[in-house]
Amino acid sequence: MAKFTPISGFPEWTPAERLTEKRIIHSIERRFELYGFASIETRSIEPLDVLLSKGDDKEIYVIKRLHADPDAQGGQDEGAVGLHFDLTVPFARYVLEFQHALSFPFKRYQIQKVWRGERKQEGRYREFYQCDVDIIGQGSLPLAYDIELPRLLYEVINELPIPNAVIKINNRKVLEGVYRGLGIEDIEGTLRVVDKLAKIGPDEVLAQLQVQCSLTQKAAQACLALGQIHGHDATFVEKVKALQVEHPLLDEGLEELCAVLNGCKDLPSGAVEVDLSIARGLNYYTGTVYEGYMVGHEHIGAVCSGGRYDNLAKGGRQPLPGIGVSIGITRILGYLFGRKLLTPVKGTPVDVMVILPDEVSRDAAFAVAQTLRRRGISTDVYHLPQNFGKQMKAAEKRGVRYVLFMGNSDGESHQIKDLVSGDQYEIDIEQWLPETDVSHFNLKGAK
Amino acid sequence: MAKFTPISGFPEWTPAERLTEKRIIHSIERRFELYGFASIETRSIEPLDVLLSKGDDKEIYVIKRLHADPDAQGGQDEGAVGLHFDLTVPFARYVLEFQHALSFPFKRYQIQKVWRGERKQEGRYREFYQCDVDIIGQGSLPLAYDIELPRLLYEVINELPIPNAVIKINNRKVLEGVYRGLGIEDIEGTLRVVDKLAKIGPDEVLAQLQVQCSLTQKAAQACLALGQIHGHDATFVEKVKALQVEHPLLDEGLEELCAVLNGCKDLPSGAVEVDLSIARGLNYYTGTVYEGYMVGHEHIGAVCSGGRYDNLAKGGRQPLPGIGVSIGITRILGYLFGRKLLTPVKGTPVDVMVILPDEVSRDAAFAVAQTLRRRGISTDVYHLPQNFGKQMKAAEKRGVRYVLFMGNSDGESHQIKDLVSGDQYEIDIEQWLPETDVSHFNLKGAK
């Protein structure tokens, strides 16, 4: 039995949980496609040197054939390869490799599993779905896309059976502009410390900025004050200006950030807010950055994040600037399933179970099922002619809402029993439709 | 540039090819769900000993953390693991592990990538989609499912943009019954040789049966004669009986095979046929076996296959007999794309491109796009206010059928130009719908 133990970090769902995950993925895909994003998938492996140049090498899983060909010398076979640890590195490579087949701006989404050889820790997965959406331009990319993404993200999350999200935005140019205006040299180090504000608190940020980044007390205090600015409207600009720091990059950043905030002003209040502590760890971001948090569950950290980068896919004839966000589907679901905040109630796609009265009625039952299936209604025939009570109970246990009792060949009508309302009534199988507002899951707390 | 070379055996599609693959997968999933199959996914890895006990070990990819924890001793970490090489081994393990959460008969489908460290060869992939559908019973499983599967398979393949398929069926009991009736001892060896009939021809089969399996010339000739029997109706039974071999297993097999053939008799002629050369290599099959071939493309081999097994998921309290088939999506698409038999014509989900007249109209254009998106129409806004001809050409190149010219604020109407018909007309964006019969791909040859 030891071999049937779960493997830590490699989650698997029950059919009911998977049905929920599938509906969520389908809903995300549909929304992305309405916005014109095309699906791509990349192979699961990349050459090890490509992975190592971009990622923390501790997180990489290398793969090897158990018995490599003895006649394959070194690189003759596929060479040293590893499983991708995100979808950004493979996407950058794909854009360059398929450049001839793409139209720019290239809007793509990509929902695939990624693997990270992380140490075991709650909420950390070693295999999980990453759900990325990016727009890559050729030469340049209008600021309009910095507005499109948080709007899309808001719409996507709003229609999922998960808690509402707030999308916090910032602009790297604002931070870097202030830092440069203050004469700070270690821009990246300062960014990294400020990014930890929510985790380590203001005192520790002040201390680390002075000790690790060699900032003066005054500069450290200005950086902290900047990181503490947040708000839902353009008044944040006054607070930044009150710091009395000047730099052209700061002006540019404030202008962009105001434009993005303004572009989202018709979204419900609280959907998008400016938070100048959002810095994002990765060094390739150069403008707008995003982080999304589930309201009431902020302690699990950002569930989606992203930003603008000037030239991720280096190697083309022109720069390929882009902007993108990533949604951590597996992390969200693992948390919601694990805490029973989201409870799937249906373990099967079946809407109607045809009751099997006896063995000789099997063909007739199958014909009834075929008629309903042809009309788009998921239908199954009970597998054995057991007593009706047992068949109904089995259907109910699976979360099937309707059972169908077949009429006889003397023209008696088929009858449907609604296991939720308890109603039973005659139907014409060429006309009848199930209720469509069947709930597939319960979400704790209002949306 | 070397790092942007494709990796042999790890295929990647263009966005247009991926759109085709995605529609195909979606169509298969929808059909499976109409029949009541639930989706599951299993983790990509299994313990190496589980993989080794079931598969050809040469095909397995092992995975390892690049820098394993120094404090993890041997099995303390995840132990020796490899990527799954099919979905059957993980499914058998999943059924036992999740037995408490499943209802039997458990109907599941599973569409995931699998990995095989194969030698390089045309048409062989190292990473590819496997698409499995299985029904597992507890204790027993009615023969009705042996009929349901080829019917489902016929429906699934018939609605895909791929050549029509013929599903060849046989029953292991027929073969084994005859072999036992002939006094043959090496049943498995005989099955393996007969299975190669289409590949190596009758003379070689005769020779191998005598040399490798130590059959008498008479027995070898009977086995060959049996393997050459095929047909669309029950007349094949007479041909088997003419061999004058008797065994209870043979009678059982013929009865089952006739029942399956009879259960498919309302399908179009040629959809299903009996072919007694179909043996399937895997030793776990015990009854009905299937192989599907694309008509006119039989030389690439079976594109789907499967059969009934008595107890694949050993370890439960009761036997868990099942039946299933697997469709080789990547192999089918790789062949059809590669030979230009299937040509995707649309590289984007976008139906309507809103023409951007000038920079100040961007918000208005976005609002128009939002209205269409809300109504379920995939819409994009052209990224730059270039001249209209350039914008239309770019839309056409992507396979977008409609462009939209915005009216002005004086109440002028929006206009749609249909790039296929050339028609241009005024529309109400709250009412208008695109044509739905847009073809997304061209299939060479009639369906």
Measured in degrees and rounded to the nearest 5, phi and psi for residue A401 equal: -85, -35
Segment 103-162 of chain B within 8 Å of chain A by CB: 103, 105, 107-108, 113, 115, 117, 119, 126-127, 137, 141-142, 144, 148
Q: How many CB atoms lie within 10 A of CB B282?
A: 14
B103 to A394: CB separation less than 8 angstroms, yes or no: yes
Phi, psi of A314 (to 5 degrees): -70, 145
Question: B295 CA to chain A: closest CA distance, Å?
Answer: 25
Which residues have a Cβ under 8 Å from the Cβ of A386 and sit 6 or more positions away? none
> What whole-number distance in Å separates Cα of residue B379 and Cα of residue B24?
22
Which helix or strand (DSSP H or E) is residue A133 part of? Answer: strand A127-136
Which site among A19, A65, A141 would you substitute to test the B interface, given the most B Cβ atoms closer than 10 Å to its Cβ?
A: A65
Q: Which of A361, A360, A382 shows the shortest CA–CA distance to B137?
A: A382
In sequence order, the 6+-apart residues with CB closer than 8 A to the CB of A282 are none
Asked whether A70 and A99 are in contact (CB, 8 A), the reply is no
Confidence band (pLDDT; 50, 70, 90) for B1?
Answer: very low
Contact (CB<8Å) A38/B348: yes
Half-sphere exposure of B124 (CA within 13 A, CB side): 9
pLDDT confidence tier of residue A273, bands split at 50, 70 and 90: very high
CA separation for the pair B96, B42 (Å, rounded): 13
Ramachandran region of residue A399, left (φ > 0), alpha (ψ -120 to 50) or beta? Answer: left
What is the separation of C-alpha B103 from the centre of its chain, rounded to a whole number of angstroms?
A: 25
A310 pLDDT band, cuts 50/70/90, is confident
CB contact under 8 A, A380 and B35: yes
For residue A353, the distance in angstroms to the closest alpha carbon of chain B comes to 9
Q: Do B97 and A6 touch (CB under 8 A)?
A: yes
* A contacts of B333 (beta carbons < 8 Å): none
Tell me how far apart the alpha carbons of residues A324 and B305 are, in angstroms, rounded to a whole number: 41
Q: Using CB atoms and an 8 Å cut-off, which of residues 392-411 of chain A contact chain B?
A: 394, 397-398
Calpha distance B436→B159 (Å, rounded): 16
Across the interface, whether the CB atoms of B383 and A142 are under 8 A apart is answered yes
Contact A150, A183 (CB under 8 A): no
What pLDDT score does B361 carry? 95
Question: What is the pLDDT averaged over residues B373-395?
Answer: 96
Whether B35 and A98 lie within 8 Å, measured CB to CB: no
What are the DSSP calls for A230-278, one per residue? EESSTTHHHHHHTT----HHHHHHHHHHHHHHHHTTTSPTTSEEEETT-
The kind and range of the H/E element at B285 are strand B285-294
The length of chain B, given as a count of residues: 447
Q: Does A300 touch chain B (CB under 8 A)?
A: no
ipTM of the complex: 0.93
**Residue B147 — φ and ψ, nearest 5°?**
-85, -40
Please name the member of A10, A35, A37 whose beta carbon is closest to the beta carbon of B43: A10
pLDDT score, position A55: 60
Q: Which residues in A lie closer than 8 A to residue B67 (C-beta atoms)? A: 57-58, 117
Please report which confidence band the pLDDT of residue A1 belongs to, taking 50, 70 and 90 as the band edges.
very low
B98-116 average pLDDT score: 95
Chain A hits for B63, Cβ within 8 Å? 61-64, 83, 115
What is the rounded CA–CA span in Å between residue A183 and residue B261?
A: 83
A2 pLDDT band, cuts 50/70/90, is: very low
pLDDT-based confidence at residue A4 (cuts at 50, 70, 90): low
Closest by CA position to B256, among listed B332, B209, B307 = B307
Q: What is the token pair recorded at B402?
A: 């409609």
Q: How many CB atoms lie within 10 A of CB A249?
A: 18
Give me the residue from B14, B43, B349 closest to A36, CB to CB.
Answer: B349
How big is chain A, counted in residues?
A: 447
Minimum distance, in Å, between the CA of residue A230 and any CA atom of chain B = 26
pLDDT (tens digit per residue) in B25-68: 999 999 999 999 999 999 999 999 888 877 655 689 999 988 76
A74 pLDDT above the threshold of 90: no
CB of B66 within 8 Å of a chain A CB? The answer is: yes
* Cα of A176 to nearest chain B Cα, Å: 28
Residue of chain A whose Cα is closest to the Cα of B141: A383
- A and B: number of Cβ contacts within 8 A: 244
What are the chain B neighbours of A63 within 8 Å (beta carbons)? 61-64, 83, 115
Are B117 and A66 a contacting pair at CB < 8 A? yes
Of the listed ranges B77-81, B138-142, B226-230, B263-267, the least confidently predicted one is: B77-81
Backbone phi, psi, residue A166, to 5°: -110, 135
SS3 of residue B33 by DSSP? helix
User: Which residue of A33, A117, A397 is in closest CB contact with B378?
Assistant: A33
- A41 with B13: Cβ contact below 8 A: yes
How far is it, in rounded angstroms, from Cα B230 to Cα A329? Answer: 50
Question: Across the interface, which of A45, A347, A348 has its CB nearest the CB of B7?
Answer: A45
Which residues of chain A make contact with B119, given a CB cutoff of 8 A? 69
pLDDT at residue A438, as a whole number:
55
Tell me the C-alpha distance between B425 and B427, whole Å.
Answer: 6
Of B42, B48, B66, the CB nearest to A12: B42
Q: H helices within A339-445, ranges in order?
A: 362-374, 388-398
Average pLDDT over residues A138-149: 95
Are A44 and B97 an interchain contact pair (Cβ–Cβ within 8 Å)? no
Whether the pLDDT of residue A66 is over 90: the answer is no
Would the CB atoms of B127 and A43 count as touching at under 8 Å?
yes
**Buried-state track A121-158, b at ≥16 Cβ within 10 A, e below 16:** eeeebbbbbbbbbbbbbbeebbbbbbbbbbbbbbbbbe
pLDDT of B410 > 70? The answer is: yes
Contact A69 B119 (CB under 8 A): yes
Instruction: Spell out which residues of chain A touch residue B68, defining contact as CB-CB under 8 Å.
Output: 117
Predicted pLDDT of residue B73 = 43
A232 to A143, A166, A188, A291: CA distances (angstroms): 20, 11, 27, 15
Looking up tokens 């794309």 gives B337
Segment A322-340 shows an average pLDDT of: 95
Preferred mutation among A27, A31, A35 to probe B, highest tally of B CBs within 10 A: A35
Q: What is the pLDDT of residue B57?
A: 59
Tell me the residues of chain B between 223 and 262 that have a Cβ less than 8 Å away from chain A. Answer: none
Contact B347 A6 (CB under 8 A): no
Please spell the DSSP secondary structure of B236-277, one letter per residue. Answer: HHHHHHTT----HHHHHHHHHHHHHHHHTTTSPTTSEEEETT
Contact A35 B66 (CB under 8 A): no
- Please state, in angstroms and rounded to a whole number, the distance separating the CA atoms of residues A325 and A31: 14
Tokens, residue A287: 């403008």
The phi-psi region of residue A123 (left if phi > 0; otherwise alpha if psi is between -120 and 50; otherwise beta) is: left
CB atoms within 10 A of CB A279: 24
264-293 in chain B: CB under 8 A from chain A: none
Give the lowest-confidence range in A101-115, A429-443, B374-388.
A429-443
Instruction: Give the closest-approach CA distance of A211 to chain B in angstroms.
Output: 31
Q: According to DSSP H, which parts of B13-107 are helical? A: 15-34, 48-54, 88-97
Average of per-residue pLDDT values in chain A: 91
Query: What sign has the CA pseudo-torsion A250, A256, A261, A262?
Result: positive
- Shortest distance, CA B236 to any CA of chain A (angstroms): 24
> In A7-129, which ranges are continuous DSSP H helix?
15-34, 48-54, 88-97
Which sign, positive or negative, has the C-alpha torsion B348, B349, B353, B354? negative
| Residue B79: closest C-alpha in chain A | A7
Decide which of A171 and B54 is more confident: A171
Average pLDDT over chain B reads: 91
pLDDT in tens, A254-265: 999 999 999 999
Task: Confirm if B440 and B348 have CB atoms less than 8 A apart.
Answer: no
Cβ within 8 Å, pair B383-A67? no
* CA-closest candidate to residue A27, choices A146, A152, A122, A114: A152
More confident site: B444 or B354 = B354
